[in-house]
Amino acid sequence: MADMLRPLTALGGHAPAELAVGLLIVTERFDVALASVAARRGRMADLARAVVKTGLPLPEAGRHAAGTPYSAFWVAPEMWFVEAPFATHEGIAGMLKGALGDAASVTEQTDAWVALDLAAPDLAPILERLSNVDLRAAPDGFATRTVIEHLGCYLIRHGAGNVRLYGPRSSAKSLIHAIEGAATATF
């Protein structure tokens, strides 16, 4: 089954795509494992204890918290998306299930999303053409769901010029096309 070892990235290549428009650089991230973690009803305290041992941060609403190996961002009340390096955590859902037991419901999300890192000296002029997020006012570590090109995406601000987007994987090409258009209009 040698063929089974040849995955395709969300943008359809065997290697992650990289794109530059003006001062914007978009890098497809193919090395991020992703899972959702939701507290079972009434089990938040148990989950909070379990994540301490696991080294899994559970940030407050609207925030991303970085860690090693696990980073996480809030997506819904008592629910987070957890990121980890794909190379070591391809089976992230199974690993988290093992660590968190029945305090949480864990679901594989790695391939449900296309992960894009956006970098530019200032991303606000590009993103204001795409999303209603007030990127200028948002602090670093801000994480939210937002609509870009009609698509529900997660946006994480790591800096004024450094943003991670998670968009629906099947629409990766439409999403990057929209980003390209916005960058072209900006620069």
Partner 1 sequence: MIINHPILGPRDAQEFVYLGDAALMGRPDGMTAGIEEFHDWLYNRDNPAGEHRELWYHEQGDRSWLVVTRNTVTHEILKVELARDVARAMGRAK
Partner 2 sequence: MSQSNRIAGGQIDRSRTFRFTFDGTAYTGHPGDTLASALLSNGVRLMGRSFKYHRPRGPLSAGSEEPNALVQLRSGARQEPNTRATVAELFDGLTATSQNAWPSLRFDAMAINDRLNTFFTAGFYYKTFMWPASFWEKVYEPIIRRAAGLGALTREEDPDEYDKGFLHCDLLVIGAGPAGLSAALTAGRAGARVILADEDFRMGGRLNAETHEVGGMAGADWAAASVAELATMPNVRLMARTTIVGAFDHGIYGAVERVSDHLAVPEKGKPRQTLWRIYSRRAILAGGATERPIAFENNDRPGIMLAGALRAYANRWGVAVGDRVAIFTNNDDGLRSATDLRAKGVDVVAVIDARADGPLLPGIRHVKGGEVVDAQGRLGLTSITVRDASGRTDNLRVTALGVSGGWNPNVNISSHHRSRPVWDEGIRSFIPGADVPAGQSAAGAAAGVLSTHGALATGQAQAIAALEGLGITAKAGSLPEAEDAPVSITPKWYVSGGKGRAWIDPQNDVTVKDVKLAHQENFTSVEHLKRYTTLGMATDQGKTGNVLGLAVMAGLTGRTIPETGTTIYRPPYTPVAMGTLAGRSRGKEFKPFRLTPSHKWAEEQGAVFVEVGMWLRAQWLPKPGESHWRESVDREVLAARKSVGICDVTTLGKIDIQGTDAGAFLDRVYCNTFSTLAVGKCRYGLMLREDGMVFDDGTTARMGEHEYVMTTTIANAVTVFRHLEYCRQVLWPDMDVQLISTTEAWAQFSVAGPNARKLLEKIVDQDISDAAFSYMGAGEITVGGLRARLFRISFSGELAYEIAVPTRYGDAMIRALVAAGQEFDAVVYGTEALGVMRVEKGHVAGNELNGQSSALNMGLGKMVSKKKDSIGMVLSQREGMNDPDGYRIVGVKPVDPAGKLTAGSHFLEIGAAAEIANDGGWLTSKVYSPHLGCDIALGYLKGGDQKIGKRMRAVNLLVKPATETEVEIVSPHFFDPEGERLRG
For partner 2, the closer of residues 27 and 107 by Cβ is: 107
| Contact status: 122 vs partner 2 (CB under 8 A) | no
Residue from the set 61, 98, 122, 140 that interacts with partner 1 by CB under 8 A: 61
Residue 149 structure tokens:
């090109």
Return the SS3 of 128: coil
104, amino acid identity: A
| Contact status: 41 vs partner 2 (CB under 8 A) | yes
Cβ partners under 8 Å of residue 104, min gap 6: 37, 38, 39, 40, 43, 47, 50, 96
Residues that bind partner 1 (rule: CB under 8 A) add up to a total of 12
| Contact status: 129 vs partner 1 (CB under 8 A) | no
| Contact status: 152 vs partner 1 (CB under 8 A) | yes
The binder of 121, among partner 2, partner 1, none, by C-beta within 5 to 8 A per type, is none
Q: Map residues 144-173 to x or -, x wherever contact with partner 2 holds by CB under 8 A.
A: -----xxx----------------xxxxxx
For partner 1, the closer of residues 62 and 161 by Cβ is: 62
Mark out the alpha helices in the chain (DSSP H runs).
44-54, 86-89, 92-100, 124-127, 172-186
For partner 2, the closer of residues 68 and 111 by Cβ is: 111
| Angle at the Cα of 112 from the Cα atoms of 17 and 142, rounded to 5 degrees | 80
Residue with tokens 């601000």: 157
For partner 1, the closer of residues 152 and 159 by Cβ is: 152
Return the SS3 of 38: strand
